[in-house]
Amino acid sequence: MSSPAVPEWTGVALSVSLVGLAVLIAWRQRLGLAREIVIAGVRAGVQLFLVGAVLLFLFKHAGLPGGFAWLAVMVVIAGQVAGRRGKGLRHSRYVATAAVAIAAAVTMGVLMAFGVIQTTPRVVVPVGGMVVSGSMAATGVTLSRMVAEVRGQRAAIEARLSLGLSAAAAFAPHRRELLRTALIPTLDSTKVVGLISLPGAMTGLILAGVSPEVAIRYQIVVMYMLLAAAVMAALAAAELGQRMLFTAAQQLR
Amino acid sequence: MSRFDLREVCVRREGHLIIDRVTATIAPGRCTALVGPSGAGKTTLLRLFNRLDDPSTGTVLLDGAPLDTLDVLALRRRVGLVGQRPVLVSASVREELRVGAPHLTDDEALGLLKRVGLPAEFHERPTEGLSGGEGQRVCLARTLAVGPEVLLLDEPTSALDPEAAAAVEDTLCALLSGGLTAILVSHSAAQVQRMADDALVLRKGQLVESGPVAGVRYVNGGG
Ligand SMILES: Nc1ncnc2c1ncn2[C@@H]1O[C@H](COP(=O)(O)OP(=O)(O)OP(=O)(O)O)[C@@H](O)[C@H]1O
Ligand SMILES: [Mg+2]
């Protein structure tokens, strides 16, 4: 029996049996997770269904402006999510939104300016989505590390301020440290790409019947763009976040 | 010169008045003790003198100039702060002495170590593993490296064992006799009597007594 490269709707329906299996196991083992698994499964299904509908509409009717509008919406949502990780930092949601926006704009701008990717909604929306989500992750970690670092290292920062160092100089060692921490996951996953994980874009292309040689070309671009986006987002979040930490009179808030 | 004036200074935090309309003068070239029960607002007040914090209302003046009209980084180099515990921010004593004074020569560094009572070989020591007393001396030397006119001392010996405390106190006394202006927060009446010329007594954020130490009841057992 041969299956199609991409599942039919009946196949999708049958894959629900996998969720059923997970629920059954969770229930038998009394993990107390059965309810959550059902909710997560339903949520994911509904979200993807809606996104599919939106994308269908965008590709058919909204054109490039619609694609960019959809990207802007993603940036705002990502900013809210990443900003929550910086709880305790003033204006953390604005900082996060700006960081994601800067990283996404620069990365997408370069890709489009050099003609690396097609400037059509069908390409801009999914590629932009990957960039935004990578930027969101890096921004979230940067801001949460920043809040933790200030909480733990207040005395050291104020010791440097008291010696006449500017806010930027007093925070510099901490900034270096938190940026390193924030970027380690991205760097590690970049290093092992292809060896440990076959990333989503490549998996998708291969499943859809594209030759591996084409799939890796796509994947290389994706990997580089995610790396650049993460570094830029982390740097922007650190730079903007740092300004929220100190007053104009170089006082730690 | 370096004379401080506090004018109707209030600090409000989360709706509480922590410093309540304090008006006082800190005389130049003298050591002024800031005393009072725990929670009276001594640390809060001390942090205003080098602008780690600003008053909510009122003004702090240095030689007649409101602090917020001065360049804050220059102010902090004129007004050094030594905290209750040694907070070392570098890996080695050599680097630690240069945090605020990057161009310090080795000769100057050794001179500073001598002033705070540490032997020259400490210059090459890592900061990890210094005792509390040694760490506090390194902090003092690091602050002196910047060349301040005023020293703010927040319970500089309270985290040390009695022997180290006495030794650090001797070092401070020697430094102060050299003409530095100092503001000393202390819990110990004996220390205030040994080190300070004047005293300000805070209670619940209010200034309740002030003047030369000999006449201040709080320091002389009058509560
Ligand atoms: N950020 C803040 N928010 C709310 N209250 C604060 C804040 N900082 C200090 N306080 C309160 O202000 C009061 C004065 O604190 P401060 O540290 O100045 O006292 P202190 O005289 O130095 O006490 P101690 O002798 O114990 O060091 C305390 O009751 C403290 O709880
Ligand atoms: Mg205190």
pLDDT digits (tens, 9 = 90+) for B29-82: 999 999 999 999 999 999 999 999 999 999 999 999 999 999 999 999 999 999
Res A5: pLDDT: 66
The tokens describing B27, both together, are: 């005389």
Range in A37-41, A76-80, A228-232, B148-152 the model is least confident about: A37-41
Q: Identify the residue with better confidence: B163 or A195.
A: B163
Q: Identify the residue with better confidence: A140 or A216.
A: A140
Q: Which residues of A touch B143 (CB under 8 A)?
A: 162-163
* Contact between chains at A249 and B80 (C-beta distance less than 8 A): no
Residue B98 contacts A, CB cutoff 8 Å:
no
End-to-end, the C-alpha distance of chain B in Å comes to 33
* Residue A27 placed within a domain: no
* Residue A102 placed within a domain: yes
Strand order in the sheet with B65-66: B16-26, B4-13, B57-62, B65-66
pTM of this structure:
0.87
* Residue A17 placed within a domain: no
* Contact between chains at A155 and B83 (C-beta distance less than 8 A): yes
- Per-window interface: B 122-151 vs A, CB < 8 A: 139, 142-143, 146
Distance A1 CA to ligand 1 centre (A): 76
C-alpha span between A241 and B168 (Å, rounded): 39
Rounded average pLDDT over A72-97: 95
* Whether the Cβ atoms of residue B31 and residue B182 lie closer than 8 Å to each other: yes
Provide the b/e sequence for B63-86 (b: ≥16 CB within 10 Å): eeeebeebebbebbbbbbbbbbbb
Q: Which ligand is nearest to the CA of B40?
A: 1
The A-side interface with B (CB below 8 A) comprises: 155-156, 158-166, 173, 249-252
**Residues 6 or more apart from B168 whose CB is under 8 A from it?**
B117, B133, B136, B137, B140, B156, B157, B160
Q: Identify the residue with better confidence: A228 or A54.
A: A228
Residue A151's CB: how many other CB atoms inside 10 A? 9
DSSP state of A4: P
Q: How many domains does chain A have?
A: 1
Angle subtended by helix axes A167-191 and A121-162, to nearest 10 = 140
**Residues 6 or more apart from B83 whose CB is under 8 A from it?**
A155, A159, B139, B154, B156
The atom of ligand 1 lying closest to the CA of B41 is 18
C-alpha span between A233 and A96 (Å, rounded): 9
C-alpha span between B108 and B141 (Å, rounded): 11
Assign residue B72 a region (left: φ > 0; alpha: ψ between -120 and 50; beta: otherwise): alpha
Distance B45 CA to ligand 2 centre (A): 9
**Domain that residue A198 falls in:** 63-245
Query: What sign has the CA pseudo-torsion B211, B216, B219, B223?
Result: negative
Res A6: pLDDT: 75
Closest chain A residue to B140, measured at CA: A163
Which segments of B15-160 does DSSP mark as H helices, in order? 42-46, 72-78, 93-96, 106-115, 132-145
Return residues with CB closer than 5 A to ligand 2 (ion).
Answer: B 43
* Residue A145 placed within a domain: yes
Q: Which residues of B touch A165 (CB under 8 A)?
A: 73, 99-100
Provide the b/e sequence for A58-89 (b: ≥16 CB within 10 Å): beeebeeebbbebbeebbeebbebbbebbeeb
Contact B39 CB / ligand 1 (< 6 Å): yes
CA-wise closest residue to B166 among B96, B174, B218? B174
Measured in angstroms, the CA of A159 and the nearest CA of chain B are apart by 7
- Pick from B44, B49, B51, B150 the residue to mutate for testing the A interface (most A CBs within 10 Å): B51
Burial of residue A242 (CB within 10 Å: 0-12, 13-18, 19+) is buried
Q: Is A246 helix (H, G, I), strand (E, B) or coil?
A: strand
* Contact between chains at B89 and A160 (C-beta distance less than 8 A): yes
- What B211-217 contacts at long range (C-beta under 8 Å, 24+ apart), as own/partner pairs, is B213/B33
Res A236: pLDDT: 97
CA-wise closest residue to B42 among B78, B7, B14, B18? B18
Among candidates B54, B85, B142 on the partner chain, residue whose Cβ is nearest the Cβ of A163? B142
Which numeric CATH code is attached to B4-215? 3.40.50.300
- The model's confidence at residue A1, banded by pLDDT at 50, 70 and 90, is very low
> Which helix (H) or strand (E) element contains residue B223?
none
CA-wise closest residue to A108 among A82, A134, A78, A83? A134
The tokens describing B117, both together, are: 């009572």
Q: Which residues of B touch A250 (CB under 8 A)?
A: 72-73
* Residue A6 placed within a domain: no
- The model's confidence at residue B223, banded by pLDDT at 50, 70 and 90, is low
- The model's confidence at residue A177, banded by pLDDT at 50, 70 and 90, is very high
C-alpha span between A28 and A159 (Å, rounded): 57
Rounded average pLDDT over A128-138: 93
